[in-house]
Amino acid sequence: MEKLLLAAIGLSSGVLISGGVVALMTGLGIIVRFAGISRTADKISLYEKGIFLGTLWGTVMTVFLDVKMPLGAVGLGICGLFMGIFVGGWILALAELANVFPVFSRRLGITRGTGLLVIALAAGKTAGSLYLFFMGWGKG
> CB of 57 within 8 A of CB of 15?
no
Predicted confidence (pLDDT) per residue in 41-56, tens digit: 888 788 778 877 877 7
User: pLDDT per residue over 45-97, tens digit each?
Assistant: 887 788 778 777 776 777 777 777 777 778 878 877 887 877 777 777 776 66
Say if residues 87 and 55 touch (Cβ distance below 8 Å). no
Rounded CA-CA distance 72/41 in Å is 34
pTM of the predicted model, to two decimals? 0.49
